[in-house]
Structure 1
Amino acid sequence: MTKKIGCAIMQTLRKHYPEYLIEAAGLGIFMISAAVVTALLEHPNSLIRQAITDLILRRFIIGIAMGLTAICIIYSPWGKQSGAHINPVVTLTFFRLGKIKPWDAIFYILAQFIGGFLGLLLAIRILRDAMADPSVNYIVTIPGTYGAGYAFLAELIISFGVMLMILFVSNNRKLAPFTAMFAGLLIAAYITIEAPLSGMSMNPARTLASAIPSHN
């Protein structure tokens, strides 16, 4: 029995390892983009931060940048090959719907956690002390001034919203090609409006990647 399981795992890895690497790279790239954009717009020594004093406007620009990052990842040849889940929640949903096999789901999720963490480590290597500054704080996602209860509720609502959109749009023949556009718009809106409540994560792999180096 153990031998059969081992053979099944190795067969799955040999067949789909490119997709696992793509999932890791996708979230890694997203983390690097988030770190660079946040440092440019929030670090006190940044000329862009000094030029744009309005906090909501800065969040809006960050939201647009991250929405565009997500759109580029999803529409890229790599993203099309793996499906560009880059989020364990999306993978689990598609597994529940029978669109992805159990071992693929496990390796997708492992790749997402590893890729997100490695992406943030690379961002720390590039940005150095800027990442540790309280204004950037390793782009950690933590409850805002209203506390954990509001953060939990906010994350519940925005996660429900984005998954509902993905399931509805991706299963509509006319709208399916624009799924990435809808996702990008939601990300931009959420970062602008919801980020003060919870940091706007919707992604446990993304949150853990920041939580480890920030010791939070």
Structure 2
Amino acid sequence: MAFATRMTQALRQNWRHYLVEAGGIIAFLTFSSLAAVVFHHPDSAVARALGPREWVQRIGMGLVVGGLIAAMAYSPWGKRSGAHFNPAVTLGFWHLGHIAAADALWYALAQFAGALGAGAVLHWALAPWFGHPSIHHNTTRPLEGPHGWAVALGAEVVISSMLMLGLLWTMHSARGKKWTGALAGLLLAVFVVVEAPLSGMSLNPARTLGSAVAAGEAPHLWLYFVGPLGAMWATAEAYRRHRLRRLPTEYPPQFPDAAA
């Protein structure tokens, strides 16, 4: 069967899943952008109440982002699609055979389309506040300096690997499976607080591209593709080999829905 035919059939059968994936990244960008204004803009009463320490403000951001991811993962819509909301997560699970190639491609297209649309709308709607240096249009950017890009790339690789490993670990644990969405939310909250100063805490090439295109700013955009995509694919491959060594007669296993 030609790939174009498989793509058409997948669209007819699973278009609701693709809409969920687009809606998920739209929700993520919307809430994270609003939270950036609330917690970081100097005119915000919340930011003033929390004081000038950025790490304290990032705790608020982390709670919003992490809580949103967990809520979407456990929602009926998130359970419908598997709550990827991230092309890097989709790539990892496609590599493990969890999702068909046609569906994976539609997922990625929906995720990028949702991010680009949300980025444009939010850039217009939040224009009076988005341009402040403390917000930078909610773009992800590396540290300033000659080696800032290398630090950001390394940080993105680390957090992307940690997220994928956490998802795989909980999903294949009888007791831990129900905590997959909660773990994803917790990890993102911690990353916002700890890692965001290094790279902006992307994990997600669609999220970064949507903000960058709308703002007309793309500092070292390539690293936000190479880091998350490469790290999650490599982590999935390492996990596959680990499972193959432990369960040679049972591989390939069935990989249940992911939440990320």
TM-score by length of structure 2 reads 0.79
Task: Tell me the SS of whatever aligns to 1:100.
Answer: coil
Contact 2:41 2:129 in 1 (8 A): yes
Q: 2:123 touches 2:214 (CA, 8 Å); kept in 1? A: no
2:81 corresponds to: 82
- SS class of match (2:174): coil
Structure 2 residues without counterparts, runs of 5 or longer: 218-260
Conservation of the 8 A alpha-carbon contact between 1:159 and 1:202: yes
Moved more, 161-170 or 141-150: 141-150
* 2:19 alignment partner, one of 21, 27, 35: 21
Instruction: Give the equivalent residue in structure 2 for 1:49.
Output: 47
The aligned residue for residue 186 of structure 2 is 185
Instruction: Give the structure with the higher percent helix.
Output: 1
Contact persistence 1:141–1:199 (CA under 8 A) = yes
The residue type equivalent to 1:32 in the other structure is: T
| 1:89-104 alignment runs, 5 A limit | 89-104=88-103
Please tell me the residue identity of whatever aligns with 2:138.
Answer: I
Tell whether the 8 Å contact from 2:3 to 2:102 is kept in structure 1 after alignment.
no
Cα offset, 1:44, TM superposition: 1.6
Cα deviation for residue 153 of structure 1 reads 0.6
CA–CA distance in structure 2, aligned partners of residues 56 and 116 of structure 1? 26
Give the aligned partner of residue 140 of structure 2.
141
What is the CA–CA distance in structure 1 between the aligned matches of 2:136 and 2:86, rounded to whole Å?
22
The root-mean-square deviation of aligned C-alpha atoms, in Å, is: 1.3
1:1-216 maps to which residues of 2 (within 5 A)? 4-53=2-51, 54-145=53-144, 147-216=148-217
Q: CA deviation at 1:55?
A: 1.4
2:206 partner amino acid: A
Structure 2 CA distance, aligned partners of 1:134 and 1:117? 22
Question: 2:172 & 2:120 partners in 1: Cα distance?
Answer: 36
Contact 2:142/2:152 (8 A) holds in 1: yes
Quick check: 2:140–2:200 contact (8 Å CA) kept in 1? yes
Q: For this pair of structures, how many residues does the alignment match?
A: 214
**Cα-to-partner distance string for 1:39-69 (whole Å, 9 max, x where unaligned):** 0111121111122112111011101110001
Segments ≥4 residues shifted beyond 3 Å: none
**Is the Cα contact below 8 Å between 1:23 and 1:86 reproduced in 2?**
yes
Q: Give the superposition deviation at 1:137.
A: 1.7
Letter in 2 for 1:149: A
CA contact (8 A) 1:43 1:136 kept: yes
Would you say the 8 A contact 2:119–2:213 is kept in 1? Answer: no
CA distance in structure 1 between the partners assigned to 2:138 and 2:171 by the alignment: 30
What fraction of aligned residue pairs are identical, expressed as a percent?
Answer: 37
For residues 147-186 of structure 1, the C-alpha deviation after alignment (integer angstroms, 9 at most, x for no partner) is 1111111111111111000011111111011111111111
The DSSP-based 3-state class of the residue aligned with 1:144 is coil
Unaligned runs of 5+ in 1: none
Letter in 1 for 2:21: E
Counterpart contact for 1:145–1:197, Cα < 8 Å: no
Task: Give the letter for the 1:40 counterpart.
Answer: V
